[in-house]
Chain A
């Protein structure tokens, strides 16, 4: 792990035990988060992007899911095997997380102020109540809330979606984390509010120098906010590259398919969109070999037999495809 890497995920495998059998939701996932960078994890529903994010914080639902293999190295320790009491010192303090639906992530029966101060009570027990209040007010100001004293007294249901997400971000920043994991932070919000929240995250990242993992299904959000991208498909990584490279020279057929199927503003209206044929195979019944094989326009025999390993095509550009060529 070089000095620039702050989080190193290696060969991660996560199983889910369901009524219908054991499924591997995340398989051979391998990526690095660099200091001060925004890493985007993109993919469609069920591709394992949220499961990967939750596993970093060890928040996977128990006992149905289990990390069966792999390491998640942060600050010289392996998060996968860390005892729970030591994990508590990292969770929320050094690595923080925000979620898609701020209404369900906030506690409805406690005021906003109390919920923010709870973070300080946990991680900085020697703060006096007054110090906690000042710190909480400063945080709310930092996330662009103009009347922090008023908001502190309110309950989550009294705030709008955008305000709730700002409060969530304020809470996650309370301990000045080194890593912020944002799992679809703007999916529940309107476009104009989404633009505000993303600008805020980017701004906070720039001023604090923290690293961010941004999980989203929206490639537009990735293009505008991330430095690097990981594209996931059916539990595996399809492609990894710096954002500009990925959008300019996508190598994996899945990435290419995704990019061309977006109804972009530049496209002539009422024309037929290119599509990816078929559907994502069920996790319970994954094909041997490449998981994208059944939908791939370039499929060959080898794709159905052998799992493609990640190949380095360029310094920072890797792709898991037998046939991709630079």
Chain B
């Protein structure tokens, strides 16, 4: 069952300059992104800085109004909701943020932070305290910690509070924007386990955004690889790692440092860096760094095409078979 549908989503930010903030150009943060997410699955979004993955997360949340295209959740267009409908949608759509230091109000106790959601949505009941205590246990924290302030917790514990806040109203979809990138390896694995566990018990659907391919592979059912505001390849998690077709996916995979000194793989080291989103290259956006570049790549933009054998695997490259 499709729970989230993103179609031809575009988000362009104006670039302004001078005293009168004259618009001098556009940043094409998202330039025609389409995908669907089924109930209970995890779609991983992976890409380097500036690829538009965070903008995508925010558009899904309705925090940015898209320039074009739409985000449909349960037959509702997220960007065209009234305030009341938007509030209602929040019961089903939540977010976990990257920085557990900045996403929690330092002046609120954990109890206040967690209670706020119930109050806003008019779900404050008599046994709210016990419900919040149970919530703390679910995410692996002690109920005694409720009266503490965020600064009294470690990074991992703070992220657990962030998770508790997101799941408190039992939503269906959670957008996770780099939920573990600020954490140490040994803490990271615990948060990933918690997210997987919660998905199993609560039937959650995740949109999991990260720059770390190993992390994305570990939590996702399907993965979309983004480059300069576009999806260049999308496939099942196992498939993309075994059988990545797009030259960018292949390069990205080969640049992950593997914790195995014995591995003797051929590394593809890309030349140059990601071009500016303000002036994306013509044709295929990856053509400036691609090792297989041909004249056609500079002229025509490749469309996402289905793999001959596997319709779930789509790639946007002129030379993909």
Which residues of A are at the interface with B, using a C-beta cutoff of 8 A?
44-45, 160-163, 190-196, 198-199, 217-225, 243-244, 247-248, 257-259, 261-265, 267, 269-276, 279
Which of these, B241, B252, B258, contacts A223 with CB under 8 Å? B258
Can you list 29 residue pairs at the A/B interface with Cβ under 8 Å?
A45-B184, A190-B49, A191-B48, A191-B213, A191-B252, A192-B252, A192-B270, A194-B257, A199-B267, A223-B258, A223-B261, A224-B258, A225-B257, A243-B261, A258-B185, A258-B186, A259-B259, A261-B188, A262-B189, A263-B214, A264-B259, A269-B217, A270-B42, A270-B220, A270-B221, A273-B189, A273-B193, A275-B193, A279-B156
Residues of B contacting A198 in the complex (Cβ-Cβ under 8 angstroms) = 257
- Whether B189 contacts A274 by the Cβ 8 Å rule is yes
Are B217 and A193 closer than 8 Å at their CB atoms?
no
Given contacts A44-B186, A217-B185, A269-B218, 6 further A-B contacts (CB under 8 A): A222-B259, A223-B257, A223-B261, A244-B261, A247-B261, A264-B214
Q: Is B103 an interface residue (CB 8 A)?
A: no
Interface string of B181-192 (1 = CB under 8 A from A): 000111111101
Provide the bound-state CA to CA distance between A262 and B214, in Å. Answer: 8
A265–B185 CB distance below 8 A: no
Q: Closest 7 CB pairs between A and B?
A: A220-B257, A263-B218, A195-B255, A190-B48, A261-B189, A44-B184, A273-B189
Contacts of A264 in B (CB 8 A): 214, 258-260
Interface residues of B (CB under 8 A from A): 42, 48-49, 154, 156-157, 184-190, 192-193, 196-197, 211, 213-215, 217-221, 237-238, 241, 251-262, 267, 269-270, 273-274
Q: Are A257 and B184 in contact (CB under 8 A)?
A: no
Find out whether the CB atom of B218 lies under 8 angstroms from the CB atom of A273.
yes
Question: Is A217's CB under 8 angstroms from B184's CB?
Answer: yes
Whether the pair B259, A160 counts as a contact (CB closer than 8 A) is no
Report how far A162 CA is from B260 CA in the complex, Å.
Answer: 25
Q: Is the interface of B mostly helix, strand, loop or mixed?
A: helix
Inter-chain CA distance A146–B269, complex, in Å, is 16
Partner of A190, one of B156, B197, B211, B219: B211
Shortest Cβ gap from B295 to chain A (Å): 23
- Is the Cβ of B259 less than 8 Å from the Cβ of A262? yes
**C-alpha spacing A17/B5, complex, angstroms:** 55
Roughly how many angstroms separate A196 CA and B272 CA in the complex, as a whole number? 9
Q: A244-B261, A269-B219, A275-B193 are in contact. Are A261 and B255 (CB under 8 A)?
A: no
| B286 to A: closest C-beta gap in Å | 11
> Quick one: given A272-B193, A275-B190, are A192 and B259 in contact (CB under 8 Å)?
no
Question: How many Å lie between the Cα of A261 and that of B137 in the bound state?
Answer: 23
